[in-house]
Amino acid sequence: MDDWMHPSWRGELPRREVMQTPEEVAAMLRLKALGWGVRRIAGELGCSHMTVRRYLAEGGWVAYRGRGRRRTLSGLEDWVSERFRRHAGNADVVRQELEREKGIRLSLRTRAALFFRA
């Protein structure tokens, strides 16, 4: 088993893919109040010490914040799908129409993601 894996009641998911429950965060706060260190709490609960630090700094459980910014093509999913079908998956033609009709210039990376999502 890799170092970043920790078996738990949640299955065999990597720690970075599992969000802490409000009960676990409450346990973090109680253990810290008892004088436990951040790394000791992390070891006991099977999570990263940085996760423990974040929740302790917040003072409790906080919902996942999600992505911080809007995606370039947010709201255009149907338009993009229709254009991909119309042009038989030709991403460059779709990119040209996107720039001409919507005024959106895409980076090479966004174009690649666009192609693989369609």
Are residues 93 and 50 part of one domain? no
Is residue 70 within 8 A of residue 63, CB to CB? The reply is no
- b/e per residue 59-96 (b: at least 16 CB within 10 A): eebeeeeeeeeeeebeeeeeebeebbeeeeeebeebbe
- Distance, in Å, from the CA atom of 40 to the CA atom of 42, rounded to the nearest integer, reads 5
Query: What mean pLDDT do residues 52-71 have?
Result: 81
- Single pTM value for the model: 0.46
- Does any domain span residue 51? yes
Are residues 61 and 112 part of one domain? no
Query: pLDDT tens digits, residue range 1-37?
Result: 444 444 444 455 454 556 788 999 999 999 999 999 9
Are residues 53 and 81 part of one domain? no
- Distance, in Å, from the CA atom of 102 to the CA atom of 29, rounded to the nearest integer, reads 50
Are residues 45 and 13 part of one domain? yes
Residue 6 belongs to domain spanning: 1-66
Q: Which residue has the higher pLDDT, 84 or 57?
A: 57
